[in-house]
A and B are shown apart, each in its own frame.
Chain A
């Protein structure tokens, strides 16, 4: 473990804790058991990235951490009534130091670790943390982490690619836009996302009538006259496609999807990585009490909330809620509770969120946004499931190859 590995370490020592504990001593609360301190780590793995196509998509320095801070404060306030205190440590690290940083956090006694990073690194972190640490994946969408490569100590607060693609697919099928023109990027993550859309199309009866790969050959996307080239190249690229109702873009790498709306040869809507996008949360969402949640976040962070912040907040609240209800700080007790029918959590998405017992994935509605408003929320009306309509999104129990959650 090198000092260099820990780019930034900070502890949320909120004034709130002390302020609340003072007067709570007077309150005959829920006859709290012995005082309990719950330490949470947030590990963010940072990668070298190019500037995004849109300035709106720049990643703030406190991405994910700010959501974690709000979750920590919420847990502190609730815990103050029960004699429970929370502290949260945040660490940003390059991928090569992720395992070392994880081991250090585990040595410091952290039993709950929220991780933001690529799928393969999240897996390395979960394994390095060891079986006694519960790891919460707050960003990686890889289906494989919920499937053949699942881990008993790895829960997924972030939705999978399968859930995100299913959310879009349900909306398109509800619209009867069943003929898709699928355009995939050339990077591995884009291919995986393209696969997810193929799977969703088959699942819900849509048809991919044409597909193309947009090769990333590098470009001058931010040049002064960039739009001139885009305006000429995208129509040509999309020319002559089979008759389609909608373009579905699979561009996790942020190379081309944002150029498709308006520029495509045929006047068709775009969904997926541009146009109608599936997200776990976005800053314009206001239904189900979300306005007050957004306001609380903005007051704390001085910026709009991004999905990573929501996911981290949610992971913290999952931990806090489980501690509140079980009165325990033991990861084994909490794991069993999270996977049981008793666990439920309000998450500003209009219905309770719960965990899938077969792979540790959080069941949740997916918001569909045009980047200005919430256009719709999936699951869509009419998509039914014997257990919960939420299980129409993502990998269902019978299709899951995950064995780590069999008990």
Chain B
């Protein structure tokens, strides 16, 4: 392991130096962006992960990641990259530095998406063909629990207070609130058609659930008298775009809880929503069929995967503007960014 890391490191440095030189020449220098982070993009059809450097904003390589890689995430210490190889019924673990395949984790059948516990010890995986959420111990490499949920589970989120892991089921149209203590469902909240993704504000007071076919984002108040309760629904409208194509999927919320970014799928736009007022303040044009989102650790940039144009878009978060698109592999699905 160490040896292979050593072998690769100088090479990577060299590549970056060249890219940096090119970037400066092109006038794309980003002052203040001291820390470079690797960005990993899963390519669902290409069966690869593309690696992008956040200094140069260039793809610096790719590696095979099993069949139909979709959900992707990185351990809090930045060492391990987890990829759902959906058609292999497993989660593959790669060395985030060397990109070497390390081992695989049991995931239950057809894993689509997962979320890591904040300490990285557990993975919560949605198995969409079997109506299950599988809990995996990342150190022991064992399945801890299988939790039956609604039809076609997809979105997963862990509440900041570690009380709940939330799963959304796409055909049942619910957000299921699973207790982290006993892995039993404590609450269900009905949302609009085909809930894809769930995201908490980092104070844990609100949960946002995107409904792809319903075309809305449900706002769930976590402080309701009788548990989580539906507080509002956010709709979207873009002149010249048929309402049918405004399909919210991936989401990210800035850590100051001010801005919610929502990928709108085939509308090729990311909506920027004021978290407090629920108002959409802007639509950012990105690549085609925009799916998932991730911030760089400093939250200066937001990366979007664009499944139909086979690229990712880099958004300047403060300016709420798209600044660059980068070609990746076939049908990019998810994105993970290495921590500092």
Chain A positions near chain B (C-beta within 8 angstroms): 19-20, 23-24, 26-31, 74, 77-78, 81-82, 289, 292-293, 295-296, 299, 317, 321, 324-325, 344-346, 350-352, 388-389
Contact among B112, B172, B186 for A27, CB-based, below 8 A? B186
Contact for A28 among B131, B171, B187, CB less than 8 A: B187
Q: Does B54 contact A (CB under 8 A)?
A: no
Cβ of B170: which chain A residues have Cβ within 8 Å of it? 289, 346
Whole-angstrom distance between the Cβ of A64 and the nearest chain B Cβ: 20
B185 contacts A by Cβ under 8 Å: yes
Best-buried of A19, A24, A27, A324 by chain B (most CB within 10 Å): A27
State whether A81 touches B110 (Cβ < 8 A): no
Cα-based distance from A345 to B172 in the complex (angstroms): 11
* A-binding segment of B145-153, B279-287, B309-317: B145-153
- A-B pair count, CB < 8 Å, reads 89
Q: A78-B151, A296-B129 are in contact. Are A27 and B184 (CB under 8 A)?
A: yes
Q: How far is the CB of B236 from chain A (nearest CB, A)?
A: 14
Contact B150 A78 (CB under 8 A): yes
Specify which chain B residues have a CB less than 8 angstroms from the CB of A296 in the assembled complex: 129, 152
Q: Which of B9-17, B23-31, B189-197, B295-303 contacts A (4 or more CB under 8 A)?
A: B189-197
Q: How many residues on B have C-beta within 8 angstroms of the other chain's C-beta atoms?
A: 36
Q: Which of B128, B227, B242 contacts A389 (CB 8 A)?
A: B242
Q: Measured between alpha carbons, how far is A352 from B187 in the docked complex, in Å?
A: 26
With A77-B131, A81-B174: A29-B213 Cβ-Cβ less than 8 Å: no
| A389 proximity list for chain B (CB < 8 A) | 242, 244
A352–B213 CB distance below 8 A: yes
Q: A27 to B169: give the CA distance in the assembly, Å.
A: 16
- B residues with a Cβ closer than 8 A to A are 110, 112, 128-129, 131, 148, 150-152, 169-174, 176, 184-190, 192-194, 212-215, 226-227, 242, 244-245, 266
Instruction: Give Cα A26 to B110, complex, Å.
Output: 28
Hey, which chain B residues are within 8 Å of A289, CB to CB? 152, 170, 194
- Cβ contact within 8 Å between A292 and B128: yes
Q: List 30 A-B contacts (CB under 8 A).
A: A26-B184, A30-B188, A77-B148, A78-B173, A78-B174, A81-B150, A81-B174, A81-B176, A82-B188, A289-B170, A292-B110, A292-B129, A293-B152, A295-B129, A296-B129, A296-B152, A317-B171, A321-B173, A324-B190, A325-B190, A345-B193, A346-B170, A346-B171, A346-B213, A346-B214, A351-B244, A352-B213, A352-B214, A388-B244, A389-B242
Closest residue of chain A to B194 (Cβ to Cβ) is A346
Q: Which residue of B lies closest to A28 (CB)?
A: B186
Chain A residues lying within 8 Å of B173, measured Cβ to Cβ, are 78, 321, 324, 346
CA–CA, A344 to B212, complex, Å?
12
Report the bound CA distance from A73 to B129 in whole Å: 12
In the assembled complex, the CB of A37 is this many whole angstroms from the nearest CB of chain B, namely 18
Contact A77 B214 (CB under 8 A): no
Q: In the complex the two chains form, is A77's CB within 8 Å of B185's CB?
A: no
Within the assembled complex, what's the spacing in Å between the Cα atoms of A98 and B245? Answer: 42
Does A30 contact B190, Cβ atoms closer than 8 Å?
Answer: yes
Most A C-beta atoms less than 10 A away, residue of B150, B187, B213: B213
Are the C-beta atoms of A351 and B213 separated by less than 8 Å?
Answer: yes
Given contacts A27-B188, A28-B186, A345-B193, contact A77 B172 (CB under 8 A): yes
